[in-house]
Each structure stands twice: as C-alpha cells, then as structure tokens.
Amino acid sequence: MSAIGLRGHQPRTIQFTAELAPASADAARVHLSAPQPTSHLQIRNEEAAGGTSVKVYWLEADFDADENFFTLAAASEFEGPAEVKEFWVRCLVGATAQTTAIFYLRRG
C-alpha cells in the first residue's frame, strides 16, 4: 500500500492462533469490533518457512463447508484492498499456526 493510501487510516492489529480443528466457527473467526469495515487488510502467517499453512475464508458458510478459501503458506502474507469486518481461519495441516492480521480503518 502506498504512503498516500495509508494517510487517514487507523491500523488495528490482531494476533491469533489458527487451529486445525477449531471447536466452532466462532472460535475460528477473526473479527474487528468497529462500526465500519476495513479498506485494506494484511494477513500474515508467522510460522517459519516449511511450517503450517493456513486457510482463509471470507464467509462462515464457506468455513463450515470447507470450500472457497485461499491458502497462506508459512512465512507469507496476503495484502490488499478488502472491505471486511471478519474472516475465518483454519490450519491446512499441523496443530496450530501463529497469525497476525492488520485491519486498516478509514477515518470518519
């Protein structure tokens, strides 16, 4: 994201652990308690290279059906414009994966 694109945004960082078999969709949900959705989003898989990959779902129904996801390999990240307030995660293999999300909120 360019410096001009960051101007006027409030970043909110959330660190979480993705699990292979979360207890429920609510346990796998990464969300932001803000009245508006983001304008930009970064999701980073903090696992060392060769570690556990993470599946990212935009809808709870997709999480429940285990379809329509993209995979973040270990030591990689997703970055781009995204108007979201929540998403769901699960590990592809392995028990857990440390992950970080940065939500960029528009001011006003």
Average pLDDT, the chain: 88
Chain segment 58-78, per-residue pLDDT in tens: 999 999 999 999 999 999 999
The answer to whether the CB of 61 falls within 8 A of the CB of 82 is: no
Who contacts 7 (Cβ-Cβ below 8 Å, separation ≥6)?
none
d(CA 45, CA 1): 19
d(CA 98, CA 45): 6
Res. 33 pLDDT band, cuts 50 70 90: confident
Q: Is 82 part of any domain?
A: yes
Is the pTM here over 0.85, yes or no? yes
Res. 4 pLDDT band, cuts 50 70 90: very low
Residues spanned by the domain of 60: 8-106
The residue length of the chain stands at 108
User: What CATH number has the domain bearing residue 100?
Assistant: 2.60.120.10
Q: Is 1 part of any domain?
A: no
Nearest residue to 99 via CA among 69, 32, 91, 26: 91
Into how many domains does the chain fold?
1
